[in-house]
Amino acid sequence: MPGRRPWQPDMQPARKLLSLLFLVLMGTELTQVLPTNPEESWQVYSSAQDSEGRCICTVVAPQQTMCSRDARTKQLRQLLEKVQNMSQSIEVLDRRTQRDLQYVEKMENQMKGLESKFRQVEESHRQHLARQFKAIKAKMDELRPLIPVLEEYKADAKLVLQFKEEVQNLTSVLNELQEEIGAYDYDELQSRVSNLEERLRACMQKLACGKLTGISDPVTIKTSGSRFGSWMTDPLAPEGDNRVWYMDGYHNNRFVREYKSMADFMTTDNFTSHRLPHPWSGTGQVVYNGSIYFNKFQSHIVIRFDLKTEAILKTRSLDYAGYNNMYHYAWGGHSDIDLMVDENGLWAVYATNQNAGNIVISKLDPVSLQVLQTWNTSYPKRSAGEAFIICGTLYVTNGYSGGTKVHYAYQTNASTYEYIDIPFQNKYSHISMLDYNPKDRALYAWNNGHQILYNVTLFHVIRSDEL
């Protein structure tokens, strides 16, 4: 029709094909910190999970040279429009139901419909585009095994984002087929797709760690036990093992409760009891790879106890570590030695006379309990309310009752520290245990007889030279 502009395909997704992907895991709050020069680096600038384990991922991408328009067949245009419409539908649904696991099933149905369209195009264009469309269909088939893996780590929102990015990748591939089908052969196209997948996987791995920037409101899981205690899950438990471990009190107790699942822990009082060979001290116990690690009462001895065979696997003394309420947290309770786990393994936090009662951090071998490396901080342990480690950084709270915040961080990878201000809600006014679980990306807390969870927000910076 005269005066009407010729149809042009949307080139925006094509630019994203050549860019690194940034994923943002956001919980209750999201604070944007845009990179000063997006063309030089990628930044993922906030990530979190809320009380239901849901998060949002955002990408800041460098600009790339736009491809020239080269209209192809009517069938390709129709297919491209369907993929673009699907991306738009995902955007709308993502904003409304991003935190809902049912979205994964809806997305899978959409993908099946897309496969059907690919088969139709194959039948009508078999001689010219068979190899290219088979490769794209194979990419769709590869997406399905990712679903249970990501669900296992409570990354439903991350899964939705990955599907969204893959659809955008398909759009970009179709754009290239439409614009450059004469300039690039199948091998080069396959190389581009493989490179994109490798960069996506590398980016996902980089997002495992980050700097703490926020803590969500608490979620009360159960109300039971005394004022002091600890509870936990095993971050290295195999798939399907969702047991909860529960230890009431902070001294002169030997019995560990085992609940079959978080649901059982929340709704029933059915448990199996394990008797430790020695009473524990404090609330700094952890379960890691099938063993429970605890501080033997009135000693600086750390014990590794196998929960399956109910046998001691290893004992070791932490040289010079204070014990028996010598260097406890501010709330007391024989909390001299606090054992922790994070993405890097097993840690012990304590204090010594040699370090003037200030906090000492030791990295432990989880099998032999040998001290691998030690860092001396300048923070008095008796002034700390509680502490936990995320990605090799020790975070210390300013108290255990009333208004509470994380206000000190020590980075073991650089042997540096800083004072920070990350408030969080102390709902029941007496925190006697606060530990991070790297699998759940959450803080487990015992607060005045209440077992509660906090989700965390982590800030990630990923530069292109790291991938």
* CATH number of the domain where residue 242 is located: 2.40.128.630
For residue 305, give the nearest of 282, 325, 327, 277 by alpha carbon: 277
pLDDT of 42 > 50? The answer is no
φ, ψ at 148 (rounded to 5°): -65, -30
Q: Is residue 42 part of a domain?
A: no
Quick one: 245 and 113 in the same domain?
no
Alpha helix ranges (H) inside 213-290? 262-267
For residue 273, give the nearest of 254, 295, 288, 300 by alpha carbon: 254
Q: What is the CB neighbour count within 10 angstroms for residue 260?
A: 15
Q: How far apart are the first and last CA of the chain?
A: 49
pLDDT of 342 > 60? The answer is yes
Q: Is residue 413 part of a domain?
A: yes
Quick one: 297 and 166 in the same domain?
no
The pLDDT of residue 64 is 45
Q: The dihedral of CA 289, 372, 281, 439: what is its sign?
A: negative
Quick one: 101 and 72 in the same domain?
yes
Q: For 229-256, give one letter per residue: b (16+ CB within 10 A) or e.
A: bbbbbbbeeeeeeebbbbbbbbbebeeb
The pLDDT of residue 445 is 98
Structure tokens given for 372: 């691998």
pLDDT band at 61 (very low <50, low <70, confident <90, very high): very low
The pLDDT of residue 175 is 67
φ, ψ at 159 (rounded to 5°): -60, -45
Q: Cα separation of 21 and 26, whole Å?
A: 16
Q: What is the CB neighbour count within 10 angstroms for residue 187?
A: 9
Q: Is residue 37 part of a domain?
A: no
The pLDDT of residue 295 is 98
3-state secondary structure of 12: helix
Rounded percentage of the chain residues whose pLDDT exceeds 90: 52
Using left for φ > 0, alpha for ψ between -120 and 50, and beta otherwise, residue 237 falls in beta
3-state secondary structure of 383: helix
Name which of 12-21, 53-62, 98-107, 202-211 the model is least confident about.
12-21
Which one of 172, 207, 242 terminates a domain?
207
pLDDT of 29 > 50? The answer is no
Quick one: 159 and 259 in the same domain?
no
**pLDDT tens sequence across 160-194:** 566 667 666 766 766 666 665 544 555 665 666 56
In sequence order, what DSSP letters do the residues of 83-109 get, joined into one string? HHHHHHHHHHHHHHHTT-THHHHHHHH
Q: Is residue 377 part of a domain?
A: yes
Which one of 188, 207, 226 terminates a domain?
207
Quick one: 286 and 434 in the same domain?
yes
The pLDDT of residue 185 is 53
Q: Is residue 44 part of a domain?
A: no
Quick one: 343 and 438 in the same domain?
yes
Quick one: 137 and 222 in the same domain?
no
Q: Is residue 45 part of a domain?
A: no
Q: Cα separation of 115 and 109, whole Å?
A: 10
3-state secondary structure of 189: helix
Q: Cα separation of 91 and 371, whole Å?
A: 49
Q: Is residue 43 part of a domain?
A: no
The pLDDT of residue 434 is 98
pLDDT band at 20 (very low <50, low <70, confident <90, very high): very low
Mean pLDDT, residues 93-110 taken together: 57
Q: Cα separation of 298 and 279, whole Å?
A: 9
240 has which bridge partners? none
CB-CB contact of 249 with 230 (8 Å)? no
Quick one: 201 and 73 in the same domain?
yes
Q: Cα separation of 71 and 87, whole Å?
A: 21
The pLDDT of residue 384 is 98
- How many domains does the chain fold into? 2
Q: Cα separation of 293 and 346, whole Å?
A: 9
pLDDT of 52 > 90? The answer is no
Element spanning 122, H or E: helix 102-124
Quick one: 431 and 349 in the same domain?
yes
For residue 436, give the nearest of 403, 409, 401, 467 by alpha carbon: 409
Residue type, 151: E
3-state secondary structure of 465: helix
pLDDT band at 62 (very low <50, low <70, confident <90, very high): very low
Which one of 186, 207, 228 terminates a domain?
207
Quick one: 228 and 167 in the same domain?
no
Q: Is residue 190 part of a domain?
A: yes
Q: Cα separation of 443 and 425, whole Å?
A: 12
Q: What is the DSSP letter of 21?
A: -
Quick one: 176 and 247 in the same domain?
no
CB-CB contact of 364 with 294 (8 Å)? no
Q: Cα separation of 17 and 28, whole Å?
A: 30
For residue 393, give the nearest of 431, 420, 365, 370 by alpha carbon: 420
364 has which bridge partners? 346, 371
**pLDDT tens sequence across 223-276:** 999 999 999 999 999 989 999 999 999 998 999 999 999 999 999 999 999 999
* Contacts of residue 331, Cβ cutoff 8 Å, sequence gap at least 6: 385, 386, 400, 401, 430, 431, 432
Quick one: 165 and 260 in the same domain?
no
Range of the domain at 248: 217-456
pLDDT band at 44 (very low <50, low <70, confident <90, very high): very low
Structure tokens given for 362: 């030791």
Instruction: Specify the length of the chain in residues.
Output: 467
